[in-house]
Chains A and B, each alone.
Chain A
Amino acid sequence: MLQIIIYITLGFMLFGIIFSTLRFIKGPTAADRTVALDTLTTISVALLVMISYISHRFIYVDIALVYGVLGFIGVLVIARYLEGAL
Chain B
Amino acid sequence: MNELLTYAGMVLMLIGGIFLFLGGLGIFRMPDTYNRLQAGTKATTLGGMSVILSIGLLEPSWFVKTLVLVIFIALSNPISSHALARANYKRGNRPYLKGGSEYDQYKEVYDPQEKPDKEEEKA
Contacts and interface: CB of A to CB of B under 8 A. Distances in A.
A–B contact at 8 Å CB threshold (below): yes
B116 A46 contact: no
A12 B117 CA distance: 43
Contact of B51 (A11, A19, A22, A46): A46
Contacts of A69: 72, 76
A29 B90 CA distance: 13
A50 B90 CA distance: 38
A16 B24 contact: yes
Contacts of A16: 20-25, 47
SS of A interface (majority): helix
B73 A42 contact: yes
Contact of A83 (B52, B65, B68, B91): B91
Interface string A32-74: 1011101100110110011011000010010011001100100
Interface in B56-71: 58-59, 62, 65-66, 68-69
Interface residues of B, number: 53
A8 B91 contact: no
Interface of B: 6, 10, 13-14, 16-18, 20-25, 27-28, 33, 36-37, 40-41, 44-45, 47-48, 51-52, 55, 58-59, 62, 65-66, 68-69, 72-73, 76-77, 79-81, 83-84, 86-88, 90-91, 93, 116-117, 120, 123
26 contacts: A5-B10, A5-B14, A10-B17, A12-B17, A16-B20, A16-B21, A16-B22, A16-B47, A17-B24, A19-B24, A20-B28, A23-B36, A31-B91, A38-B41, A38-B81, A39-B23, A39-B40, A42-B77, A49-B55, A52-B55, A58-B62, A61-B69, A68-B69, A80-B83, A84-B117, A85-B120
